[in-house]
Structures are given as structure tokens and as C-alpha cells.
Amino acid sequence: MSINILMPALSPTMKEGTLARWLKAEGDTIAAGDVIAEIETDKATMEVEAVDEGILGRILIEGGTHGIAVNTPIAILVAQGESVPEAPASPAPAAAASAPAAVVATPAVAAQPVPAAADKGKGRRVFASPLARRIAAQKGIDLASLKGSGPNGRIVRRDVEQAAVAPAPKAAAPVATVEEAGFESIPHTTMRKVIARRLTESKSTVPHFYVEMDVELDALLALRSQMNAASPDEGPGAYKISVNDMLIKAAAVTLRRVPQVNVSFTEEAMRIYEDVDISVAVSIPDGLITPIVRKADTKSLRQISLETRDLVARARAGKLKPEEFQGGTFSISNMGMYGVKAFSAILNPPQAAILAIAAGERRPVVKGNEITIATVMTVTLSVDHRVVDGALAAQWVSAFRKVVENPMSLVV
């Protein structure tokens, strides 16, 4: 018996996806576990493995098709020697038995078009006598513009003749037009649609609150230089710690010190998470994705550096697994490499906080009665005000600054 291959749901938020391309062709033999296609989800392009074995009898939806709803049949798998059906296999007998009328009615609907639907776009049906039609054709009169005076509103000869002698309607005053600039329409990818929907929901339904603070980086930069200098030049033990790696660790340590920010809001209760899972915003060609450094507070800077480097590379190649970007309890968005002075990030629900990190730059700083030069960055914490109050957000940012400016806690 033939088996339908369905459009899979590859993430909790996925309602539809794009069939990027088929990796098998009609007639190919497929074993369970074979990669048969690539599906573009709301987060990444992912490979789909076959669950059953057989022959790929028919491809129902071609590669490159957008907006395919989850559980839509995309291909038909048949056994060796089995004939290939023209359409997807019928529903299971139990389902068919529960709704026999729907199954029987389907061919009838397909075979008999509905007149009302067919007439849409053609305007209303015009009832007119044959003589009225001939006169209207001779005089160039549109019957659809006339109101009939005959039985049941039928258009007759006098209606057409009256229309012929009626004064022409006054021409409308010309309307000034503005020439539209040229443009190119680029269809939204599934990821872009989901980003638009989720960010709109976040900004319109979650009360955002922002706390901004300047943080000095000189001590952290000095520690980073010392650690990288101690790394082997090459080999499995080599590493190169970035400022972002250290800030991920600093955020994780701060969340352990102020765990009330490691939370999320639900209608019934506030959830306080046991693990500190840091989502790191990564820019990719189609938009944005947030791979997760799990239990970041328990990992060394070297572990965070190696793991982050791997996650970012696979994120940009579209090769992340769902469990590597789904979840997270706190987010970091770093735009310091672009020279940004300060910015505010939009929350990534259901998380209650996201830290926006700007560029470190040399600034004059007052220390005691003297002005000195220090490397300073501005960080902005966005919080969900339903579960994180302003004073708590300020407490967290203050604790974060203390960790960054005294970075030995990152290595002990």
C-alpha cells in the first residue's frame, strides 16, 4: 500500500515551510534514514530523513515551492512493483468511517463547478431581449450599465434607446498622478515571515522596559589578552577567546547572582529557570537566528569560545538542529563590531530579558578628581515589565558591570 510523505513540522512555531529541494528523484529506492529533501523552516534549512522504505513513486510538490502547510502530502512512497497512484493515499479507514459523507462528496465537488464561483469577476448576469442586445451592439452601449424596465428587470428596446439619446456623463476632472519609483519585489522567506510575526507580537503585547549603563572594559580586555597569549598556536588545545565569549560568560554569572531575571511570564505563574541557557543573536542572510549556549554559567571561557564558534558557523550554513536554537532563558545581541554606540533590543518571547551590547570605545572618565581615558561600552537591558520590575533590572545591570569590570570571577 502506498504511503504519503507529509510536510513535517520541524519546529514548534512552524505552520508552513518551503520545500527547498528534493535530494531524491522519482523512481529512486529509499531506505529508512535516507535524506530525501531539504525543508526551509522558520529558523533554518534542514534535511528531512525518510521514516519508511520503498520507491519514491511520485513527487507531488516540486522543489522551490513556498507556503506548504504542515502535514500536506508532498510525495508518494510505494513498494517494489506496486503501481503508483495519481493522488495521495486515502485517509486511514478509521478516519474515513467517521466521516463517510465527506469522502463521497469530494469527487462530486471536483466534477461539478459551482456556477456562482465561475461568474465571479465577470460581473452580474445581464437579462435583455434579443432586440435590445442587437440595438446595444449597434450603438456601442454596455448593457451591464443599464437598468431594465421590463418584467423581472429585463432590459428591453426602450431602455437601450433612452440610453442612446441620454447626455453623456460629465468627464471627471483629471487627477494628478505621481510617478512611482521603480522597485523589485522579493518574496518573503518563511524565516522572514516568522521574524516579522514574532517581533510584532513581542513589541505589541509585551510591555518593554529599558535600563542603560556604561561599563568599562579595560580589565576584561587585559585578561583576554593574557588568556589568548597562553593558548598553543595550533592543535586541539588551541583557542582564541573573543570579547563576546567573555560577555556571554559574564551574563551567565550575573544571572546566577540575580536569578530573578532568569524567568518568563505565563498567564498562570512566573517561571524561574534552573539552568542558564544564553541565546546568542546571529545575523544570517535570511534574517536572524539565536543558537543557544546551554548552562553557560558552568562552562569555561575556552568551552564557550569553541562552542559559540561552532554554533555560529553552522547557523550561517543553515545546519543547526532544532534543539540548538529552540528554548533559551536569556538573550544577547552584540552589535559592537559595527561601531554602534547604543541600541535597544526587542524581547525574544517567552524570555523576559535581552542584553543589547554596543561598541567599546575610548572615552574620558572621571575617577576621583581626575579625568582619565578608559575603554567604555554601553549596554541596554530590555525586560518584560510583567515579571521584571525596574529596580530589579537596574540591580541586574549593576551586577553585570561589576562582573565585567572585575573579570576574575569569569575564570575562578
Q: Which residues are known to be catalytic?
A: 385
* Size of the chain, expressed as the number of residues it contains: 412
Enter the C-alpha cell of residue 392.
Answer: 530589579
Residue with cell 423581472: 152
* Helix, strand or coil, per DSSP, at residue 257: helix
**Is residue 213 within a helix (H) or strand (E), and if so which, with residue range?**
strand 208-216
C-alpha distances in angstroms, 65 versus 3, 25, 37? 21, 16, 12
Count the neighbouring beta carbons within 10 Å of the beta carbon of residue 130: 7
Q: Which amino acid is at 197?
A: R
Among candidate residues 406, 403, 408, 412, the one with its CA nearest the CA of residue 253 = 403
The answer to whether 233 and 274 are in contact (CB under 8 A) is: no
The sign of the dihedral angle between the CA atoms of 17, 23, 25, 31 is negative
The sign of the dihedral angle between the CA atoms of 359, 364, 370, 374 is positive
Strands 73-78 and 361-367, how do they pair? unpaired
**Is residue 245 within a helix (H) or strand (E), and if so which, with residue range?**
helix 243-257
CA 225 to chain centre: 38
Q: Is 31 exposed, middle or buried (0-12, 13-18, 19+ CB in 10 A)?
A: exposed
Residue 240: φ, ψ to 5°? -145, 105
Count the neighbouring beta carbons within 10 Å of the beta carbon of residue 34: 15
**Is residue 358 within a helix (H) or strand (E), and if so which, with residue range?**
none
